[in-house]
Amino acid sequence: MKVRKAVIPAAGLGTRFLPATKATPKEMLPVIDTPAIQLVVEEAVAAGLTDILIVTGRNKRSIEDHFDRAVELEVFLEEKGKSDELKQVRALSEMADIHYIRQGEALGLGHAVGMAEMHVGGEPFAVLLGDDLIHPSMPLLREMLRAYEAHDRSVIAGMKVPHDQIGFYGCITPEPVDEHLAKVLSIVEKPDPTGAPSDLAAIGRYVFAPEIFDALRRIKPGKGGELQLTDAIASLLLEQQVLAYAFDGTRYDCGSKLGYLQASVEYALKHPEISEDFAAYLKSRIC
C-alpha cells in the first residue's frame, strides 16, 4: 500500500534549550530564517506526503499559527510591494493538509505516536522527529518510502555512530540484505555501550505498518518511565519483519546545542542570500 500520511511528534518540553524554550516551542527555534519544524514538514512534502498530523502539547500554539493564514501580515506585505515575502508566507498555509492533536501528558515518544492511530486509519505512515534534521539534498525519507512499498515492511532509519555514543539511541542488530537495507534482528533502547550489539543507531525517521499500534498497546513504560517507541518496534518484530535503511549522509542532532549550531552553520553555508558572506566571515575567524 502506498504511504500517504506523516506524523510529526512535537510535544516535548525542550528543556535542553531553556530558557529559550520557556515560552517558545523548541520546534520553532529557527535554523537561519526557518523554524526547524517547517524544515521537517518540507521534507515530508518533498517525499510526497501532504497529509500531516503534528502531535503537540501545551504552549505549542505558535506551531499552528505558523502554518495558518496570516491575513493582516499578507495585506501589509502586499501594500509594501514585498512580493517575495508574501509568496513565502502564503505558501506556508498551502504546502500540506496539516492536522493537530494534543498529547495531554508527556508519556514518551511511543505514546505520542500512538495518538495518531485514529488519524492514520489503518494505513502505513511515516514518522519524522524534529530533533533530527536531514538536509533536503539527501532524500532519506523518499528512499525509505520506496523500500516500504517494495517490501511491504516497516522501515526504520539507521546510522552508524561512535561506539561510545550508542547509549543515546535505540541500537539495531542488523542482518544485511543489500547495500542500504538490512533485516532488523533486534532493537534495544539506549544500551550500555560495553554490551551493545552494534553501532547502528535508530535515527528519527520511520515508516510503519499500521500494526505498530497493536505493538504500542502491548508495551509497558521502559527507560525513563516512558512508553518507548523502540520497545514497540521490538514487540512488532515478534510478529513481522522490520527493515533498517542504512543512512550514510549527514544528519544534524538538533536536540543538542552543538547539533543545532552545526545545522545552523551548514544551512547558512547553503543559503542563497548569505552563503558567500558567511563563508568569508568563517574563514576570517579561523585564520
Cβ neighbour number for residue 212 with a 10 Å cutoff: 27
In a domain, 286, yes or no: no
pLDDT at 113 over 90: yes
* 64 vs 58: CA distance, rounded Å: 12
Q: For the chain, what is the domain count?
A: 1
Average pLDDT over every residue of 105-122: 91
Within-domain flag for 282: no
In a domain, 278, yes or no: no
**Backbone dihedral angles phi then psi of residue 85, each to the nearest 5 degrees:** -65, -40
CATH number at residue 113: 3.90.550.10
- 257 lies in some domain: no
In a domain, residue 104? The reply is yes
Residue ranges making up the domain that contains 151: 5-252
Per-residue pLDDT tens digits for 233-284: 999 999 999 999 999 888 998 888 999 999 999 999 999 999 999 999 999 9
- What is the pLDDT at residue 60? 86
Domain membership flag for residue 197: yes
Checking DSSP bridges between strand 125-128 and strand 5-9, what pairing results, if any?
parallel
Of 287 and 95, the structure prediction assigns the larger pLDDT to: 95
What's phi and psi for 152, nearest 5 deg? 55, 45
The chain-wide mean pLDDT, for the chain, equals: 91
Q: How far is Cα 170 from Cα 187, in angstroms, rounded to an integer? A: 6
Residue 155 lies in a domain: yes
CA-based R_g, the chain, Å: 19
pTM strictly above 0.75 = yes
pLDDT of residue 231: 94
Q: Which residue is listed with cell 499552528?
A: 64
In a domain, 258, yes or no: no
Q: What are the residues whose beta carbons fall under 8 Å from the beta carbon of 114, sequence distance 6 or more? A: 213, 216, 217, 227
